[in-house]
Amino acid sequence: MEIKETKIKTFQASIFIGLEYGYTQKQINENLVIESLSELQKQLSAEKNIFLSASVSKTNIVLNDQNEQHLKIDFINYPKFPLDENIFKDEVLIIGKELMKQFEQNRILIIYTDETIMLEKSEEIDPRIRSE
């Protein structure tokens, strides 16, 4: 059996999204985020013929007294469906903004191979970070 190798330029992105609505401590079911991501992927495939597979893992963001569950959504430039870097970044950003709206996030991070973008609705900070 012959194995074919496909090489492309590496770039990736990660979206970090909290699992609570705003700073309410009201939990978001992670499956809702995954379902929403899947719907956004289906739209992207149908409308633009773009396929962005994602790896989703649970993580915690810790800062002072804040210890909040998050999902980390990782995207790569997948060799089966390679994209131009600018298109890749633009589409990940669109997904990040849509998830931010749907799940009432004040702030999310998108980390690309070469830059980090913080999306922010207000200057408000989680009160647990500034607890005395």
- Distance, CA of 83 to CA of 52 (rounded, Å): 9
Radius of gyration, alpha carbons of the chain: 16
Tell me which DSSP letter residue 3 carries: -
Length of the chain: 132
Which residue is it, tokens 């994602």? 54
| Mean pLDDT value across the chain | 92
Going by DSSP bridges, is the β-strand pair 66-76/54-63 parallel, antiparallel, or unpaired? antiparallel
pTM: 0.90
DSSP reduced 3-state for 130: coil
Residues 100-124 have pLDDT tens digits of 999 999 999 999 999 999 999 987 7
- Distance, CA of 30 to CA of 76 (rounded, Å): 21
State the number of CA atoms in the 13 A half-sphere of 19 facing the CB.
Answer: 21
52 pLDDT above the threshold of 80: yes
Predicted local distance difference test score (pLDDT) of residue 132 = 53
Per-residue CA distances from 48 to 44, 71, 88, 104 (Å): 5, 26, 12, 26
